[in-house]
Amino acid sequence: SGLGMFSTIICGFLSPLVVKRLPEHVQVDDPAVVKRLAKKLERQQIPLRSDYGYKVSLFSHLHQYSRKAPLTQLLSIPSTVIHPSIVRLGLQYSQGIVAGSNARSVALLHAFKQVIRDYTTPPNEELSRDLVNKLKPYISFLNQCRPLSASMGNAIKYIKKEISNIPSQCKEEEAKTKLLKCIDRYIEEKIVLAAKAISKYAIEKISDGDVILVYGCSSLVNHILCEAFEKSRKFRVIVVDSRPRLEGREALRRLVQRGISCTYVLISALSYILPEVSKVFLGAHALLANGYVMSRVGTSQIALVARTFNVPVLVCCETYKFCERVQTDSFVSNELDDPDDLMVTRKGKTQLENWQDVSSLGLLNLVYDVTPPDFVDLVITDLGMIPCTSVPVVLRVKNLDQ
């Protein structure tokens, strides 16, 4: 399955040893794996998306797609294999319309709700097994549009488990309502209520007169700042942004709308602005089992420079983003975005216009990077405020619960 990376980790006496299979999307340089994937996609009747442009040799094991060639161009619309809401979702992912860890997970869950509503069990089949099989090509399709995030992977694991746990005597309507309620509860508990709990803890850490630095657009951090402002804390915010995504502008808009006084700089001006800063709040894409924080590229740089200026770094992350993977650098597992995004037109001239024609020139547009735990002072989760190294403890507690 395409979710081999999220299978059970070695947990000693708790469960038998399961050897993890490396996910396909970090083995693009292995032709056998690519062939296997192509065969699987053919079986599921999903088109294979081809790579674009010259890939930097350090990242030849990852995919690199162009936004101008979405997967839907190779699909016949309306598709008989893939549910239309999934097709729409895939397109929204690949074009960057739905971006951000929480947004993507919530959109995914809503799309799955629609799929479940429209689902009818074929005769002589059990809902618990057939629905799971129906979801597999959808997941492959979404993976082709944009590699799944850790939070999406955990959500899918949860749904699959819920579906397989439906008893066989259960009537279809009842089963479907039960599943829809499960999904709603998941969103409510893991995302909405978690955000409230995290805000409560985080607001204790914000004092009057603080100057808070945030990076990019994290829905959770924006929520915390807006809540703190509602509770009449006096602080100002510095939004740091970076090319080529420039997500900070969205965060800036949201904060300014609420009336929070903001400053805006690019990441290269970090050393200039940090002496004014009292705290740094960062969002996370996933928290890895060895304590590393996987987040938008540039986060590790901010944490490094903040550490040099002795500014505390606080990471805010819901527990459903905790991941059993381990990673020490930003190369082995990452995502490559469209390299054309790096081009810029200044004073009417685009320097890198014909970069494809020059054989020794490559553009690298990384999406994620990992921050070592010694740069992070505190992680604020819905279970409380923990140090970075306590992530495997939380995972174990979660496994016991389930």
Binding residues for another protein, rule CB under 8 A, total 49
Q: Are 323 and 287 in contact (CB under 8 A)?
A: yes
Show Cβ contacts of residue 160 under 8 Å, excluding neighbours closer than 6 positions: 132, 135
* Residue 244 engages another protein in binding (rule: CB under 8 A): yes
Binder of another protein out of 34, 366, 378, 385 (CB under 8 A): 366
* Residue 26 engages another protein in binding (rule: CB under 8 A): no
Stretch binding another protein (CB under 8 A), from 117-125, 147-155, 186-194, 292-300? 292-300
Binder of another protein out of 121, 365, 385, 399 (CB under 8 A): 365
- Tell me the residue type at 207: S
Would you call the peptide bond into 392 cis, given omega within 30 degrees of 0 as the criterion?
A: no
Stretch binding another protein (CB under 8 A), from 23-31, 156-164, 353-361, 385-393? 353-361
* Residue 364 engages another protein in binding (rule: CB under 8 A): yes
Q: Are 86 and 138 in contact (CB under 8 A)?
A: yes
Which three-class secondary structure string do you get for 167-207? Answer: CCCCCHHHHHHHHHHHHHHHHHHHHHHHHHHHHHHHHHCCC
Q: Are 315 and 234 in contact (CB under 8 A)?
A: no
- What is the rounded CA–CA span in Å between residue 32 and residue 257? 52
Name the 3-class secondary structure at 296.
Answer: strand
Q: Are 62 and 28 in contact (CB under 8 A)?
A: yes
* Residue 352 engages another protein in binding (rule: CB under 8 A): yes
Binder of another protein out of 273, 293, 294, 380 (CB under 8 A): 273
Closest to another protein by CB, 194 or 280: 280
400 φ/ψ angles, rounded to the nearest 5 degrees: -65, -40
* Residue 258 engages another protein in binding (rule: CB under 8 A): no
Binder of another protein out of 110, 189, 264, 399 (CB under 8 A): 264
* Residue 310 engages another protein in binding (rule: CB under 8 A): no
- What is the rounded CA–CA span in Å between residue 303 and residue 214? 11
Closest to another protein by CB, 155 or 214: 214
Least separation, in Å, of the C-beta of 288 and another protein? 15
* Residue 99 engages another protein in binding (rule: CB under 8 A): no
Stretch binding another protein (CB under 8 A), from 80-88, 217-225, 359-367, 378-386? 359-367
Give the closest residue to 282 by CA, choosing from 380, 391, 189: 380
* Residue 358 engages another protein in binding (rule: CB under 8 A): yes
Stretch binding another protein (CB under 8 A), from 62-70, 89-97, 344-352, 387-395? 344-352
- Residue span 311-340 as binding mask against another protein, x where in contact by CB under 8 A, dash where not: ------------------xxx---------
Show Cβ contacts of residue 26 under 8 Å, excluding neighbours closer than 6 positions: 61, 62, 332, 333
370: which 2 tokens?
């990992």
* Residue 361 engages another protein in binding (rule: CB under 8 A): yes
* Residue 308 engages another protein in binding (rule: CB under 8 A): yes
- What is the rounded CA–CA span in Å between residue 150 and residue 160? 15
Q: What's the residue count for the chain?
A: 402
Q: Which residue has the tokens 């001239």?
A: 349
- Residue span 115-154 as binding mask against another protein, x where in contact by CB under 8 A, dash where not: ----------------------------------------
**Site residues for another protein per CB under 8 A:** 56, 58, 242-244, 249, 252-253, 256, 261-273, 296-298, 300-301, 304-305, 308, 329-331, 342, 344, 346, 351-352, 355, 358, 360-366, 369-370
